[in-house]
């Protein structure tokens, strides 16, 4: 995202009711997603209920993904698969 877009998102957050801002912030902490992505997902879900769910957006942290990749490489090497 461009810097201008991030600023606009922060401005949108300023206009939201406090309970909604808190919910967005809590969800961001739990999922490690950026606030702009959470807002984007909420709008997409509002427009098309079948398009996306917040459950679909659970992502692993980069550290977890690196560790999983390392384990898979070790397992493949043990089986002599390249």
Residues in the chain: 82
Query: Which of 3-7, 51-55, 66-70 has the largest mean confidence?
Result: 66-70
Sequential DSSP letters for 7-58 = HHHHHHHHHS-HHHHHHHHHHHHHHT--HHHHHHHHHHHHH-TTT--GGGG-
Confidence of residue 2 (pLDDT cuts 50, 70, 90): very low
Q: Yes or no: say if 27 and 33 are a contact pair by the CB < 8 Å rule.
A: yes
What is the C-alpha separation between 27 and 55, in angstroms, rounded? 11
Quote the percentage of the chain above a pLDDT of 90.
9
pLDDT classification of 9: cutoffs 50, 70, 90: low
């Amino acid at each position: 995202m461009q810097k201008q877009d991030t600023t606009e998102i922060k401005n949108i957050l300023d206009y939201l009711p406090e309970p909604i801002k808190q919910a967005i912030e809590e969800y961001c902490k739990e999922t490690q997603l950026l606030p702009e992505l959470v807002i984007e997902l909420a709008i997409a879900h509002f427009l098309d209920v079948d398009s996306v769910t917040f459950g679909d957006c659970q992502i692993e942290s980069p550290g977890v993904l690196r560790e999983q990749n390392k384990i898979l490489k070790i397992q493949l090497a043990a089986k002599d698969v390249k």
